[in-house]
Structure 1
């Protein structure tokens, strides 16, 4: 995954004594020789908000001179040992970071000002590990660092970084093992900047091991924090329209809103209900682009399945033009709203989801095993109730509307089961899988209803343009026939309530 031309940096850091001798890096998988060491002098100024919002989210923004990649660097967390690094040239300004980088970090910066917060001077010796063809597999950087906050004295230290270039994780493990045997230890901080400013960092939420005996409120808050982090993690990729990013961010938004509803008896609704409303707004903003993608893909698939003699006129071209225009317009709306004050205040509210969001009632303090199964069971009963109403619907339009309600209820039940899976294990996973199956079946039907409306509009446009609208009518009829048998089978499977929910 990349954003705005960035690349994924895979590295590990080690603390080392000033007199530590580097190992010779012999007998490493795939390594044939070492390149002659290269020494670099690096000077960097780091930027952040006054309350260190970037650093608190494991993100760094710096202006660095020296070395082959001097310039502005933004580093975003991605996975274990992995960060996304985005680079821009130095430019003329030394105090104003490039907009292309600040936009990618806007989810944390929001409407706060960026200030220089620390400076580092590094004497780096780079050792490149080469394969038999002379290609670089990894770089080992031996860094002697002097770092300080801009308003205080600092210190000096030594660390060793191992970054993969063309090698794999087996090599990363092997180099790390040699460094540890030689006397290095895994770094105690995630970055050089963290080492400099760690005394100014607010205490982090330390993850606790949850069980059925844990307070129900703790399980709820852990899930809400997890989904808040997921939403914010997808923000930079959504801004640059990376594949599937809009969908993933929208899912996180929906999971949060669903959890706030499922756990309502445990929460202070004066805090959480306004947040639910804002999450609904954000889901709507993200939904237009995602819906355009889904409908476009669905219609193109329908067109591809038809014999050429039944496609009269520029059918595919008209579909492509219309859906691409809708998608572009939706993305423009997303970019606008993701830099709005409304969005920033929503993010502030997510940051504030802590113990204060729990109700003062004792239910949140009771054991998870005594409270959460009943809340999940309630979401499952909503599915069955909605399905009964769908069966009694009379017109096709009523059926479509009510099946959409079944789908929404199934989605909430799925998310509810997934949110307690870490505590209740396989039974919760099984319920989530059943609800996901039902959701996907009904999702196809809902997508079909939206697709048929697009086809009706395109058929009308084709007629007004003097084209033959036959093919759009044909596609409209074909799209209606799908999913009924699978829907009935899944509904039959979910009739019996699982024992753990009783």
Structure 2
């Protein structure tokens, strides 16, 4: 079983093994010597160092207080999640699953061995509460694959205790700077080891150049969403809050940009990629839609006055939700573990590495991007106006749902163009989002009414009162009617705005 801890730390360059005095810095009252320990860690990666390229580390470490396998995933500046498992000879399968979106199924091998002599100090406040741990590490690195040589250096690492304000790291850094100790310019020991043990290498990967052409802007957006998709994959596997929703949004953004900017990209290359992204969106959607439905129905049931809540309604909802989520979660896991998903990620990487650009992609971004957005806006207009012309009922519900999907696509296409088109594209993105909200509320009401009908039927079959479900059904009908009544005015306001110009 894996254990997860949130690690907030900062690394510093050190000329020697000495640790500057931190007494009276940010509430630090005492510095407690914890002695010296020896650590021996072997870092694993693909032969082409895909994990290191995304600041992810996988190591097998002996010595110290936490021997075992450790996977570190970046969360934000100075912050990583460390997932640990007991010591075994081979990398644990549960950790390999969490890096699958980065390794794409490639085997991980030992790439670097780091042996450290660690001098540890505990930083405590006046009440003896642990604030942080500071360590001075004398490191010896040995390259095992993909390079040659050895390297040695000394560094200082300050890691906050759980619940301590990250501002303490800033205060520690100020004290260190006055003592001539500077923050490290590399994110990890592994990153430094890879650089210093391969002197003939090309060094860090070059930064992506600033977008210039229309094609550049579309590709920059696609790469950003691809990176987000890969980074969110472990969060979904760990069942973190909102992770399925966020991954689904990244997938939709990719597909929307591919389809909206087909004039700049080879359509034969785009079509199969867009189809596979649609498949992934559907697989993720089953669980996400159920999650949204569960939250909506639970909140609605809780809001019912006591005299309108009859029978074991809460128990019935819990049973219904648990049964449906029990089927949807394995479906998400199966999709991410499938060969089809790996092939999608591989195809996406290949597409971005050698993008099939059309002639228009080489032009300045103004006109090509504005033209694409104008087409998206006109398609959205047709969908909205068709839906509003229909009488209330199932056909209109379906048309409004299609309009909602078109609003999302327009919003994401405008996001991609915003760096080039500026205010006009940002306005279109906001307008599309303002339509997306009521359309989403309407669709949630449609789905809720379907679920409430099922719950009422199940309750009746079990001999339970169905009254509460009927009350909630009526409330959802009213919600949908109010939303539909508001849409014409909102659409008229959006339609009056100028369309984006190049």
Structure 1 stretch displaced more, 299-308 or 379-388 = 299-308
Does the aligned pair in 2 maintain the 1:37–1:125 contact within 8 Å? yes
For 1:98, the equivalent position in structure 2 comes to 92
For 1:329, the equivalent position in structure 2 comes to 327
Does the aligned pair in 2 maintain the 1:43–1:66 contact within 8 Å? yes
Distance 1:239-1:258 versus aligned 2 partners, 3 A rule: same
For 2:253, the equivalent position in structure 1 comes to 255
* CA RMSD after TM alignment: 2.3
Instruction: Report how far residue 391 of structure 1 moved.
Output: 2.2
What secondary structure is seen at the aligned counterpart in 1 of 2:329? helix
Match of 1:292 among 290, 296, 300: 290
Instruction: Report how far residue 109 of structure 1 moved.
Output: 2.6
What secondary structure is seen at the aligned counterpart in 1 of 2:82? strand
Distance 1:333-1:147 versus aligned 2 partners, 3 A rule: same
Question: In the comparison of the two structures, how many residue pairs are matched?
Answer: 492
What secondary structure is seen at the aligned counterpart in 1 of 2:64? coil
CA offset digits 1:433-473 (Å, max 9, x no partner):
22212111111111111121122222222333333434333
For 2:498, the equivalent position in structure 1 comes to 498
- Structure 2: how far apart are the matches of 1:330 and 1:286? 9
1:7-46 paired onto structure 2 within 5 Å: 7-17=5-15, 19=16, 21-36=18-33, 38-46=35-43
- Structure 1: how far apart are the matches of 2:305 and 2:158? 56
The answer to whether residue 74 in structure 2 is matched with residue 80 in structure 1 is no
What secondary structure is seen at the aligned counterpart in 2 of 1:357? coil
Distance 1:4-1:201 versus aligned 2 partners, 3 A rule: farther
What secondary structure is seen at the aligned counterpart in 2 of 1:420? helix
Distance 1:376-1:105 versus aligned 2 partners, 3 A rule: same
For 2:132, the equivalent position in structure 1 comes to 138
For 2:68, the equivalent position in structure 1 comes to 71
What secondary structure is seen at the aligned counterpart in 1 of 2:295? helix
Match of 1:128 among 98, 119, 122: 122
Instruction: Report how far residue 26 of structure 1 moved.
Output: 4.2
Distance 1:56-1:257 versus aligned 2 partners, 3 A rule: same
Distance 1:360-1:410 versus aligned 2 partners, 3 A rule: closer
For 1:479, the equivalent position in structure 2 comes to 476
What secondary structure is seen at the aligned counterpart in 2 of 1:495? helix
- Structure 2: how far apart are the matches of 1:368 and 1:154? 48
What secondary structure is seen at the aligned counterpart in 2 of 1:264? coil
- Structure 2: how far apart are the matches of 1:253 and 1:43? 40
For 1:375, the equivalent position in structure 2 comes to 372
The answer to whether residue 241 in structure 2 is matched with residue 243 in structure 1 is yes
Q: Which runs of 4+ in 1 moved over 4 A?
A: 199-203
Match of 1:107 among 82, 94, 101: 101
For 1:396, the equivalent position in structure 2 comes to 393
- Structure 1: how far apart are the matches of 2:43 and 2:258? 37
Instruction: Report how far residue 20 of structure 1 moved.
Output: 6.7
1:284-323 paired onto structure 2 within 5 Å: 284-323=282-321
What secondary structure is seen at the aligned counterpart in 2 of 1:10? strand
- Structure 1: how far apart are the matches of 2:204 and 2:264? 25
Distance 1:431-1:189 versus aligned 2 partners, 3 A rule: same
- Structure 2: how far apart are the matches of 1:333 and 1:205? 39
Distance 1:430-1:446 versus aligned 2 partners, 3 A rule: same
The answer to whether residue 266 in structure 2 is matched with residue 268 in structure 1 is yes
Distance 1:169-1:315 versus aligned 2 partners, 3 A rule: closer
Structure 1 stretch displaced more, 459-468 or 440-449 = 459-468
For 2:149, the equivalent position in structure 1 comes to 153
What secondary structure is seen at the aligned counterpart in 1 of 2:478? coil
For 2:205, the equivalent position in structure 1 comes to 204
Q: TM-score, normalised by structure 2?
A: 0.92
